[in-house]
Amino acid sequence: MTIIYHILTVSDWETAKAAGSYHPPSLDDEGFIHAAYVSQTLDVANILYPGQTDLVLLCIELSKVTARFQEDLVEFPPGTKSLHPHFYEALNTNSVVKVVDFPVGVDGQFTMPPDALL
């Protein structure tokens, strides 16, 4: 089982669940949905969402995804190049096997929720 992670707000997840698919602005603006492997998730959260509340972490089972998937070489965080997972179509919500609250710590930083580690 390969799990890919995606961070979004609770309200964006509720909208996606109701629609049956997740189509964030990045899909139109950049052509893909950003995602992360477990080792990349905290860098993404702490750099792009510092101090933000109301976030959840989607645990996506790659074998259930119907969208076109690709790993792209990305320089993120700055100075570090690595392959990052991207979805090039709307994400089918039934590929999400778990949704985990992703609270920010009192220091404004995130830690990986233990129940997200599948």
Sketch the domain layout of the chain as residue ranges.
3-105
DSSP conformation letters of the chain:
--EEEEEEEHHHHHHHHHHTEE--HHHHHTSSEE-B-HHHHHHHHHHHSTT--SEEEEEEEGGG--S-EEEEEEE-STT-EEEEEEESSPEEGGGEEEEEE-PPPTTS-----GGG--
- State yes or no: pLDDT of 78 exceeds 90: no
The sign of the torsion formed by the CA atoms of 75, 77, 80, 84 equals negative
Tell me what percent of the residues of the chain surpass a pLDDT of 70: 100
Q: Answer yes or no: CATH 3.20.170.20 is held by domain 3-105.
A: yes
- State yes or no: pLDDT of 118 exceeds 90: no
pLDDT of residue 6: 97
Instruction: Give the pTM.
Output: 0.94
Cβ count within 10 A of residue 78? 6
pLDDT tens-digit series, residues 18-50: 999 999 999 999 999 999 999 999 999 999 999
pLDDT of residue 63: 97
pLDDT tens-digit series, residues 89-104: 999 999 999 999 999 9
